Chain A
């Protein structure tokens, strides 16, 4: 749409509505004074105050003034436009005007909430109101364009969050691409033994969902794959997925283990990632028996053929289906989807970062994740809790808050470790009858059945010592400490420093954002918070959405979460995608650039600046032309146009110049 054909609605008659927002604004800003000030501004015909303008009666004030012919443009001075711009645009429209004859002055987030001096706050609020009044006089009638939504969805990450979101969407009949970077889906939950507080076997409740993913006709599962590029916008994303070579043909392999048995390495020799390196695997392997897809893969870092090129390839000989393919190459898949759900999960804190806890130095100091594998019946010890020398421990310490609630590592609470520690304490106590000591700062058991589980542990005879552990060492001072790990901690409930010798230590390591969260967020054009977690659109009211429309979050990639919360959020993310798809279209903000042909000199300055190739050159007219469907509305070209021929809807030069004058000329 160009300026010349946009409808005007006559001489501006501006209504200014200043919101009290209870005392949020009125407590800091002289609202009545601001209203009187607004009445003196050019073109203002109505200025009112109201307690909550976003309420129905508040919006009705605006609509009635429009219907009465008193105003044809609206300024609301209240909260951030990121909060309520849409509300008031709708109100303007409901009154009978084009919704774009509206401008908001942010006098809450940018003024009353950040200013202590009332006089200064009022001055700043008046300046912002004047800016908005000046600007809205130049607003034009605009229409949103509708773009159809591709009904397919991309889910990134195949942990419990991604699995649940994918299944929900697929069950509703949507086609889902589930992309997982590891060779199998399942995520961290597949590595857990039991889940708190019900002590459900994690595998028993997870693996049926994993099989459902594998067999679902609407889910395309790409494991061992990563999203490398995302282009487009809500409803119409173009995505490139990099499928890493497994060197085993997924369509032929049936997971029979023959190749693994016949590998030239007779014995497993390499660290088994799934079991936290507590046992060994071969170069050709299946991560765990319920892996989905149940397909072997070859690790080129350890395979003799890849390293030396002189292997007898006994694995390939053993495979009756000729699934092994040493020449397999990386493959790039290009797909188009309407919505994206990120469920990329977390990593556990590296316990080596706290050297005084001795992880990596004392063999019998384990992380909680290692203990999950030790207590697991399909784990490296068949479910027995054993010391490195094969003996059963007689005493075990569980240290809470390792890498959480700590000024030196992460200040936040990882939320799940208290309960996970209680669970491990219970399992260790049950399997070994050892004395188990929990060292905690505060017991955080907020969840359904969580406090009751804590009570149960207290009754089971597990010891609880309230205090952060200062040090774990093997420095014995008495004969009974010889050969033990000595925990030093202040017991803050009795006010003494204690030394407790134990055989084994479990460090309840906290949750951290994935190491490559920064790279991933760039690919999807979203933000990370200060701690590295993906940033939600609003911490209370939009905890699943991001600032990029069409991209939502599920699970621990947004912040530490337990399984029930993760599943709930995954369901919510699926619902967001469904709402978008079932609506069938998206309306694009009409803030696109346009060219006033008569002023364009054909210099082509703008063409190279556009990151979306939305500007082309019309040779026969010697002018540039903007494709409104491709333009995203950044305005970079507009700022560069030497002749002022390029303008941006909602951000025209005259709108911004007059806003500048407005905010500075009066107060």
Chain B
């Protein structure tokens, strides 16, 4: 695509955000209604509950070209489905360890509890996250993943750079 972000322009972080329907997605709507301007770098994917978040979604997002992933759920104790956010937190904690072992800065993936009324918090987190990823620089996992696929899984097992 001719207008692909980052071609002929200084690099801009690209972030994928997974927001739960009941708290964080609603909070992002509220930020919109209140016209709280924030960094345009995160693209939001709506899921019903942060508990739906398969860690592979995050890995896929990074592999497909995202420089960071933001996860938004209800505050502990406030989950619309009682405890989906706790399940998400458990998986997130494990995933961060895995990222570290893969050589990806774990802070590229961030989890935040944002309630439906906290539009200002969406603004703050979006800005913080964008600036943080900007400092970390591009992830560039996409070409590496492609190279790895070309070498076959065997190369990865032998410790090919990922």
Residues of A within 8 A of B (CB): 37, 40, 80-83, 106, 108-111, 113-117, 120-121, 123-124, 126-128, 131, 522, 525, 527-530, 535, 547-548, 591, 609, 611, 632-636, 638-640, 648, 651, 653, 656-657, 659-661, 663-667
Contact = CB atoms under 8 A, between A and B. Distances in A.
B105 interface: no
A639 B54 contact: yes
Contact of A124 (B21, B23, B43): B43
Contacts of A653: 54
Interface string B58-71: 00110011100000
5 contacts: A123-B5, A634-B51, A638-B54, A664-B64, A665-B64
A121 B78 CA distance: 32
B51 A131 contact: no
B57 A110 contact: no
B46 interface: yes
A625 B14 CA distance: 39
B33 interface: yes
Contacts of B124: none
B83 interface: yes
Chain A contact surface mostly: helix
B113 interface: no
Contacts of B82: 611
B22 to A, nearest CB: 6
Interface string B1-39: 101110000001010100001110110110111011110
A82 B49 contact: no
Contact of B26 (A547, A633, A660): A547
A439 B54 CA distance: 59
Given A634-B48, A636-B51, A664 B32 contact: no
Given A111-B40, A114-B35, A648-B52, A666 B116 contact: no
Interface residues of B, number: 54
B40 A124 contact: yes
Contacts of B1: 37, 40, 666-667
B50 to A, nearest CB: 9
Most buried by B among A109, A116, A653, A660: A660
B15 to A, nearest CB: 9
B112 interface: no
A655 to B, nearest CB: 10
Contacts of B64: 660-661, 664-665
Given A124-B40, A660-B57, A664-B43, A113 B49 contact: no
Given A664-B66, A665-B65, A666-B1, A131 B48 contact: no
Nearest to A656: B57
Contact of B87 (A111, A121, A636): A636
A117 B57 CA distance: 29
A667 B5 contact: yes
Given A108-B32, A117-B40, A639-B51, A659 B45 contact: yes
Most buried by A among B29, B43, B52: B43
Contact of B16 (A40, A123, A660): A660
Given A106-B44, A114-B37, A664-B65, A636 B57 contact: no
Nearest to A611: B82
A635 B40 contact: no
Contacts of A659: 45
Contacts of A80: 29, 32
B116 A660 contact: no
A294 to B, nearest CB: 40
B118 A530 contact: yes
Contact of B47 (A37, A110, A656): A656
Contact of B31 (A82, A114, A664): A114
A385 B60 CA distance: 73
Given A124-B43, A128-B43, A634 B115 contact: no
A165 to B, nearest CB: 24
Nearest to A109: B32
B77 A636 contact: no
Contacts of B44: 106, 110, 128
Contacts of B49: 634-636
